[in-house]
Amino acid sequence: MTTRIRVYGTDWCHSTFGVREYLMNARLEYDFFDIDRDPRADDFVRALGEGRRRYPVVVFPDEIVTNPTVSELGQLLRDHGAEPAAVRHNARIARRGSRAEEDS
């Protein structure tokens, strides 16, 4: 399955785990490429890092970010219209609350 979000990294990397956990908790689909097991993924990451392995790498159709912080990842998702589930959930509650106030 191909999704809009792709993550390149390793299974043992704490930063890669953090990115994947954030996306999972946000209930956003993504494809993961383990650069230790996938030579093409490793080549891609090395090409971005001028021969060095700098990861995790998060890829959208028009943007690539290496080793994003949680706030950078959140902003990246908002910029691409992929809000985390908690944000979507809170927006629905706020809309329902506004309708209830209008009905009173």
Q: pLDDT tens, position by position, for the chain (104 residues)? A: 345 899 999 999 999 999 999 999 989 999 999 999 999 999 999 999 999 999 999 998 889 999 999 889 989 888 888 766 654 444 444 445 544 444 44
pTM given for the model: 0.76
The CATH class given to the 6-103 domain equals alpha beta
CB burial string 14-42: b at 16+ within 10 A, e below: eebebbbebbeebebebebbbbeeeeebb
Would you list the domain boundaries of the chain? 6-103
